[in-house]
Amino acid sequence: MTYLKRAWAEISLDAIAHNYTAYKQAVGGDKEIMCVVKADCYGHCDRAIAPFLENELTVRKFAVSNIEEARRVRESGVTGEILILGYTPPEVAGELCRLNIIQAITELSYAAELCRFIPDGEKLSVHIAIDTGMTRIGLHGKDAQQTADEVIEISSLEKIAVKGMFTHLSVADSDDEGDITYTKAQIEKLMAVKAALLSKDVEIPCVHYLNSAGGIYHDGSGSDLARLGIILYGLMPNASLPLPFVPQPALTLKARVAQVKTIHKGEFVSYGRTFEASGDMELATVAIGYADGYPRALSGKGELLINGRRAKIVGRVCMDQLMCDVTGLEVKAGDVVTLIGADGNECITADEIAALCSTIGYEIVCGISKRVPRVILRNGVELDATV
């Protein structure tokens, strides 16, 4: 396949398979897994990963953020269930039906508005979101009974078919005692709504609350499935909290050295003159920058891997390039630089970069821009590349 090896990301399907299998075993082999493939599979390439999950790993349930993502996953050949976890404008409800997409319902008025645009004779499949403490989306009754009553009203709408009910755990990735108690309370609130519905002979086919972290650290007995997100891609929900298995990062970010030059004491590097050479040094310019999604916040403190050794970024990261100190590393133009991933005995993770940027690994991988080709690997062989 043809792609420019200026800056690119390699995506390992083998790592995806490892993480999926290990997670499924950890939560219990009989627990169904819904794979979260939103945000282009957290920046990893949904059109390659979603079909692989379905065809090779027999995944039948997927979750996305919006209708554009749902459409792309469906067009990639996926035939299984696709749940939109976020908002869809009611006027495109007909397309939800046409593509056989499940929509999250956040309140009765939203469900009613969707019904205005659902074609006559059709029903839209939905999962009802319950706000148990995330305070983001979902039914927000004063108690379980009031929430259950609203669920029943939504269920009574002629063009709505309720297939599920769910909530999202806000601190499932924390081992703080207060957060553990809060998570338990969230689960209990959802289970109370389920019980209130059953008391009125209303049974919801699928009730779920487990996210990646919830499935590992909390009781999942009441959840009909686990929504596997960040761990699928080999990142930690909480970098400081161990998992019962070692996830394999699926993404490696690479770029090329564009030029190597010797600079002398007193010379400045990059915008703002934030770095001044204290003596002679070898400086490499690398063909990647913040427009590629490599954070500008790493200016003057991030490190790269070249020829299996670490090199420190000097000066500010530019839009398309950055500079690093390669003194003594015998680097030349054209050499491959690893910005996320392993080279020899050294490894730089998305979580390491995130810590330097005061953020989380999720944001780092999701932020890699579309102009960076994703090169899909299986058993070490390149299968495809986005360009």
Q: Catalytic amino acids?
A: 38, 271
CA distances from 262 to 164, 278, 282, 284, 368 (A): 63, 13, 5, 9, 30
For the record, the structure tokens of 113 come out as 């508005």
Give CA–CA dist 135/265, Å, rounded: 55
Which is nearest to 42 in space by CA: 296, 288, 292, 250?
250
Which is nearest to 143 in space by CA: 208, 201, 198, 195?
195
Q: Decide if 151 contacts 118 (C-beta within 8 A).
A: no
Q: Decide if 319 contacts 290 (C-beta within 8 A).
A: yes
Which is nearest to 384 in space by CA: 6, 7, 8, 79?
8
Give just the sign of the alpha carbon dihedral 9, 14, 15, 16.
Answer: positive
Give just the sign of the alpha carbon dihedral 51, 106, 190, 155.
Answer: negative
Which is nearest to 210 in space by CA: 240, 238, 190?
190
Cα 162–chain centre separation = 26
Give CA–CA dist 334/219, Å, rounded: 51
Q: Decide if 348 contacts 341 (C-beta within 8 A).
A: yes
Which is nearest to 162 in space by CA: 146, 178, 150?
150
Complete DSSP assignment for 223-239? -SEEEE-GGGGT--SST
